[in-house]
């Protein structure tokens, strides 16, 4: 979706669309909004980086703009009235917010990522902002009140766009009196419980989700407000979120004792929050983190990614998608953020790294395998081969 796309078809107005953008949490938030929208009684299409779906059915459609239009038309023809879509910075920079206007825009957060594509943090933010600049006068923006760019996003909203805000202070002090504020977040291996306060009597005092980690409190509150803005009764949205499983590869627990977790975190902020969540659950056992960084991509995030893993007892640096870079050099760059950590190892072969981490753990130890999550391929040189962290970890456990 990097090219400038044509105007939307006339029938696009038949689908009330909720668009989600931000650095981290887009796929999860989009999936949860779609689940809540289903409470209105009609099928709901969703478009994410994972693929196109109609409710739980994965649509065999290519991830292009033409494929997107085909997926939305199929959904409309099957009776859909609402859609939930994930919007990347590249798509927004290419004009997607004009090509398919959204009625509700949801912002998760803005952190260091994709600067190889955008050149600067300012251009990255400007791309994300296109979703909100393009909202109609009767539209709604759902914005993270704890994100540093909150006030800037509010300043660029068109007149008469309603702004709903949510706040989970783990990201910092809220920049306004948020419409819903998480006062406390309880995390366990069973899920996450969010205690809330709000001046709006319709919004809940508590929200429970099956996803594990404080960061999912942000996604859950964003999804709740996004669904609420689209007309879903609050009690129905709360019930839908409580039933939702996190998307594959998002703090996905594939084994217990030892606990083996696969997560998509591939930016410094996402990795730091995922490691923090794992550390809190590890208690007195050992936490091992396995991760790398992509080749021919934003090189400036490598040292910060190393720093993000400092809470782990053992860090195993490995390959991600090295492409035609030397994975050992990528690992050395990451290690600069771990220069005084007591146990940092490099095992370039990702399968060997995962096997070593699992075989070196036992009891209540936690092994966090980060960076690829749901992905099923790895690119080394100019060759892309099948590779799944989940499958490799399960093989190691056998």
Same fold, 10-243 and 252-397: no
d(CA 377, CA 339): 30
The CATH class, in words, for 252-397 is alpha beta
Mean pLDDT of the chain: 93
**pLDDT given at position 124:** 66
Which tops the pLDDT comparison, 123 or 234? Answer: 234
Closest to 5 in 3D by CA, of 85, 132, 70, 94? 94
Predicted confidence (pLDDT) at residue 1 exceeds the cutoff of 50: no
**pLDDT given at position 66:** 92
* pLDDT, mean of residues 249-266: 95
Q: Which residues contact 336 (CB under 8 A, 6 or more apart)?
A: 302, 303, 306
CATH number of 10-243: 3.40.1190.10
**pLDDT given at position 49:** 87
Per residue in 94-123, pLDDT tens? 889 999 999 999 999 988 544 444 344 565
Confidence of residue 246 (pLDDT cuts 50, 70, 90): confident
* pLDDT, mean of residues 152-163: 93
Predicted confidence (pLDDT) at residue 385 exceeds the cutoff of 70: yes
Domain ranges of the chain: 10-243, 252-397
268 within 8 A of 295, measured Cβ to Cβ: no
Predicted confidence (pLDDT) at residue 223 exceeds the cutoff of 60: yes
Alpha carbon separation from 210 to 71, 241, 244, 246, 397 (Å, rounded) = 28, 8, 7, 7, 24
Confidence of residue 330 (pLDDT cuts 50, 70, 90): very high
Q: Which residues contact 215 (CB under 8 A, 6 or more apart)?
A: 24, 25, 170, 270, 273, 274, 277
**pLDDT given at position 50:** 86
Q: For 41, left (φ over 0), alpha (ψ -120 to 50), or beta?
A: left
Strand ranges (DSSP E) for the chain? Answer: 16-21, 45-48, 51-54, 57-59, 82-86, 104-107, 140-144, 162-167, 180-188, 191-197, 206-209, 252-255, 259-263, 287-291, 314-317, 344-346, 366-370, 377-380, 383-386
Per residue in 356-373, pLDDT tens? 999 999 999 999 999 999
**pLDDT given at position 5:** 65
Which tops the pLDDT comparison, 23 or 356? Answer: 356
């Amino acid at each position: 979706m990097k090219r400038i796309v044509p105007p939307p078809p006339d029938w696009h107005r038949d689908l009330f669309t909720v668009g989600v953008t931000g650095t981290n949490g887009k796929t999860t938030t989009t999936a949860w909004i779609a689940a809540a929208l289903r409470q209105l009684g009609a099928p709901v299409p969703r478009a994410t980086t994972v693929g196109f779906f109609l409710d739980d059915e994965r649509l065999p459609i290519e991830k292009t703009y033409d494929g997107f239009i085909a997926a939305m038309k199929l959904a409309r023809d099957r009776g859909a009235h609402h859609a939930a879509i994930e919007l990347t910075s590249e798509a927004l920079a290419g004009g997607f917010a004009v090509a398919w206007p959204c009625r509700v825009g949801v912002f998760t957060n803005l952190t260091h990522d994709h600067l190889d594509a955008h050149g600067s943090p300012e251009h990255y933010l400007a791309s994300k902002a296109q979703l909100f600049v393009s909202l109609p006068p009767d539209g709604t923006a759902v914005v993270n009140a704890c994100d540093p760019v909150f006030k800037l996003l509010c300043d660029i909203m068109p007149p008469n766009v309603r702004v709903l805000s949510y706040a989970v202070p783990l990201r910092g002090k809220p920049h306004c009196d948020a419409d819903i504020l998480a006062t406390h977040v309880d995390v366990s291996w069973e899920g996450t419980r969010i205690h809330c306060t709000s001046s709006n009597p319709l919004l809940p005092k508590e929200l429970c989700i099956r996803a594990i980690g404080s960061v999912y409190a942000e996604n859950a509150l964003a999804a709740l407000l996004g669904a609420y803005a689209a007309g879903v009764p609050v009690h129905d949205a709360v019930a839908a979120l409580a039933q939702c499983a996190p998307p594959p590869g998002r703090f996905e627990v594939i084994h217990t004792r030892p606990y083996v977790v696969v997560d998509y975190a591939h930016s410094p902020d996402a990795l730091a929050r995922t490691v923090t969540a794992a550390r809190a659950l590890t208690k007195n056992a050992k936490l091992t983190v396995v991760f790398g960084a992509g080749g021919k991509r934003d090189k400036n995030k490598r040292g910060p990614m190393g720093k993000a893993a400092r809470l782990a007892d053992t860090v195993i640096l490995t390959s991600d998608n090295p492409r035609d870079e030397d994975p050992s050099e990528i690992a050395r760059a990451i290690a600069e953020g771990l220069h005084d950590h007591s146990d940092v190892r490099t095992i370039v072969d990702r399968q060997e790294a995962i096997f070593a981490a699992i075989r070196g753990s036992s009891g209540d130890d936690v092994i966090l395998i980060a960076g690829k999550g749901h992905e099923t391929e790895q690119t080394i040189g100019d060759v892309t081969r099948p590779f799944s962290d989940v499958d490799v970890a399960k093989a190691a456990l056998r």
